[in-house]
């Protein structure tokens, strides 16, 4: 997702990077390219217009700072505007009422039921007692689908009684939740292929009768411009409180999804990037902006790591990475943690510089990467603790010993040391970025 946008923006930035000074002319040219990139990615034209205008105003009116190159400053502006477009800050569900109620809205097939299961699992893991309610009463299969997902998430589920209306079911579920001490109630509703009055009235009644504070529109990121008008209609009739983008794992251009936040003013709460229940993440505007610009998503990476692996170890590692110091012991920890994190392909999407690579290339690189990290692990294990802490000690002779000891070739030892040096270089950039808020060169 967003690969194409990333590629074209990076091309623009590349041509700016070499410029010692930005002239009005090359700013105009760069802005034109940014505009094209956004339009090609299917971002709504009005949103693009506003976006480019804001960047232009910012860039024209400002003095070039000494510490950064003009090109970097331009990129920073684009980054900031992109972040503002995606939302000023991270927003969570409205948890002020107990039980907290969420109504899932949206067209057919966008991922409401799947996301209901994902959310249920998430809240359950947070220690909440969760009830999901199958309000898609016209399709018996939909209620069964939710039943399966609820069982998978380990939460309770309530379905319609024969002849029961959606609002009656909604109110019954609410009473049931209050009576039995549920903390969270998620209503999965039915959708249509296109927006129609009956549907909107039905869900508007449901939200009103239950008093649910969270009215969340689920948007399929692959859907294109239609999602903008769908969002406007739902917002006008139900008063949306948030958005969830799904299918960000796909190849679609995704720009329409980026426009919906700007058009409705509703925050994006979560993003779904896969069919499995764990494939749901909170949405951070700044991280998404980084990712779209091809800076990767180091912070998300570290967070994902924290969920799955030893937290103390990760924290130590993170600190060392940000301090610009890293030795081969840290590198080994990193290799092992990465292994625990699951698919390399998924991880590579989050790595700096990676999003501009094609999917096939990523997959090919991923399996090669997994083989290589096994080798690297063996190599590091064959070093003495002193060598691991101070890789500069590793002379040609020592390389031979290490290769023999680990059943690898000297070339593998060299490759590892080279990669380690690159990682070290990157951590130094991270340090700069964290310390001074400056954009790393990419
Ligand atoms: N790849 C991918 N597929 C998804 C995602 N979310 C939902 N789906 C799939 O989209 C299809 C429709 O989902 P469903 O939840 O039934 O949509 P609903 O009609 O809105 O309830 C199903 O095949 C889901 O597995 C996602 O984030 N990524
Ligand atoms: Mg459904």
- CATH number for the domain running over 3-86: 1.20.120.140
Q: How confident is the model at residue 75 (pLDDT cuts 50, 70, 90)?
A: confident
21-63 per-position pLDDT tens digit = 667 787 888 888 888 888 888 888 888 999 999 988 888 766 6
Which one is the CATH code of 298-436: 3.30.1360.200, 1.25.40.10, 1.10.3720.10, 1.10.260.30? 1.10.260.30
User: What is the distance in angstroms between the CA of the first residue and the CA of the last residue of the chain?
Assistant: 20
Numbered ranges of CATH 3.40.50.300 in the chain? 100-291
Q: Which ligand number lies closest to the CA of residue 134?
A: 2
**Range in 202-216, 282-296, 348-362 the model is least confident about:** 348-362
The verdict on the CB of residue 191 being under 6 Å from ligand 1 is yes
**Parts of the chain belonging to CATH 1.10.260.30:** 298-436
Ligand showing the shortest atom-to-Cα distance for residue 146? 2
pLDDT at 366 over 90: no
Distance, in Å, from the CA atom of 313 to the CA atom of 341, rounded to the nearest integer, reads 14
Instruction: Identify the nearest ligand to the CA of 142 by its number.
Output: 2
Contact 210, 227 (CB under 8 A): no
User: Which amino acid residue places its CA nearest to atom 13 of ligand 1?
Assistant: 111
Query: Domain 100-291 - what CATH class?
Result: alpha beta
Residue 130 binned pLDDT confidence (cut-offs 50, 70, 90):
very high
Confidence of residue 306 (pLDDT cuts 50, 70, 90): very low
Which pLDDT score, from 0 to 100, does residue 438 have? 39
pLDDT of residue 327: 86
* Interval between CA 190 and ligand 2 midpoint (Å): 6
- The finding on whether 247 has its CB within 6 A of some atom of ligand 1 is yes
Q: With 50 as the cut, is the pLDDT of residue 226 above it?
A: yes
For CATH 1.20.120.140, list the domain ranges present in the chain: 3-86
Residue 439 has pLDDT above 70, yes or no: no
User: Is the minimum distance from the CB of 223 to ligand 1 under 6 angstroms?
Assistant: no
Going from the C-alpha of 222 to that of each of 42, 117, 250, 319, the distances in angstroms are 10, 21, 7, 38
Encode pLDDT of 310-341 as tens digits.
656 667 777 777 776 778 888 888 777 666 65
* 193 pLDDT above the threshold of 90: no
Rounded to the nearest angstrom, the distance between the alpha carbon of 212 and the centre of ligand 2 is 19
| Atom 10 (ligand 1) nearest CA | 111
159-182 per-position pLDDT tens digit: 999 999 999 999 999 999 999 999
CA dist 259 and 254 (Å) reads 9
- Comparing CA positions, the residue from 1, 89, 96 lying closest to residue 41 is 1
| Rounded-to-integer distance, Cα 68 and Cα 62, Å | 13
Question: Using a 6 Å cutoff on CB, does residue 281 contact ligand 1?
Answer: no
- Residue 357 — pLDDT band, cuts 50, 70, 90? low
pTM of the model: 0.69
Helix (H) or strand (E) holding 189: strand 184-189
**For residues 354-368, average pLDDT:** 65
The answer, yes or no, to whether any atom of ligand 1 lies below 6 A from the CB of 44, is no
Q: Buried b / exposed e across 116-128, counting CB within 10 Å, b at 16+? A: bbbbbbbbbeeeb
Q: Which atom of ligand 1 is nearest to the CA of 106?
A: 20
Q: What is the pLDDT of residue 436?
A: 39
């Amino acid at each position: 997702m967003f690969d194409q946008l990333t590629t074209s923006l990076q091309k623009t930035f590349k041509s700016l990077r070499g410029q010692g000074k930005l002239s009005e002319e090359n700013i105009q040219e760069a802005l034109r390219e940014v505009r094209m990139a956004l339009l090609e990615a299917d971002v709504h034209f009005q949103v693009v217009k506003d976006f480019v205008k804001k960047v232009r105003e910012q860039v024209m009116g400002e003095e070039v700072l000494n510490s950064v190159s003009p090109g970097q400053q331009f990129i920073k502006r684009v980054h900031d505007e992109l972040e503002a477009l995606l939302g000023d800050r991270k927003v969570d569900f409205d948890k002020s009422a107990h039980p907290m109620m969420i109504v899932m809205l949206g067209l057919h097939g966008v991922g409401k039921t799947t996301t209901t299961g994902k959310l249920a699992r998430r809240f359950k893991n947070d220690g909440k007692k969760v009830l999901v309610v199958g309000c898609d009463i016209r399709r018996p299969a939909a209620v069964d689908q939710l039943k399966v997902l609820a069982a998978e998430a380990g939460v309770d589920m309530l379905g319609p009684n024969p002849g029961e209306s959606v609002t009656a079911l909604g109110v019954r579920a609410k009473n049931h939740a209050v009576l039995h001490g549920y903390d969270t109630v998620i209503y999965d509703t039915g959708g249509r292929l296109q927006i129609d009055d009956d549907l909107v009235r039905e869900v508007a009644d449901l939200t009103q009768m239950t008093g649910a504070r969270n009215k969340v529109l689920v948007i399929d990121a692959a859907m294109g411009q239609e999602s903008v008008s769908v969002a406007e209609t739902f917002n006008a009739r139900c008063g949306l409180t948030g958005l969830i983008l799904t299918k960000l794992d796909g190849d679609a251009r995704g720009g329409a999804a980026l426009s919906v936040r700007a058009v409705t003013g509703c925050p994006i709460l979560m993003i779904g990037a896969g069919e499995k229940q764990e494939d749901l993440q909170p949405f951070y505007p700044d991280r998404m902006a980084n990712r779209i610009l091809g800076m990767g998503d180091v912070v998300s990476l570290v967070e994902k790591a924290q969920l799955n692996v030893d937290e103390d170890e990760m924290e130590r590692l993170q600190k060392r990475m940000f301090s610009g110091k890293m030795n081969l012991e840290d590198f080994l920890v990193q290799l092992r943690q990465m292994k625990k994190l699951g698919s390399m392909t998924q991880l590579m999407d989050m790595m700096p510089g990676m999003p501009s690579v094609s999917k096939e290339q990523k997959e090919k690189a991923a399996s090669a990467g997994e083989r290589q990290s096994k080798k690297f692990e063996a190599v590091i294990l064959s070093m003495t603790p002193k060598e691991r802490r101070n890789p500069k000690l590793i002379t040609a002779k020592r390389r031979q010993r290490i290769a023999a000891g680990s059943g690898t070739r000297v070339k593998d030892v060299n490759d590892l040391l080279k990669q380690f040096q690159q990682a070290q270089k990157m951590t130094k950039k991270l340090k700069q970025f964290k310390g001074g808020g400056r954009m790393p060169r990419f």
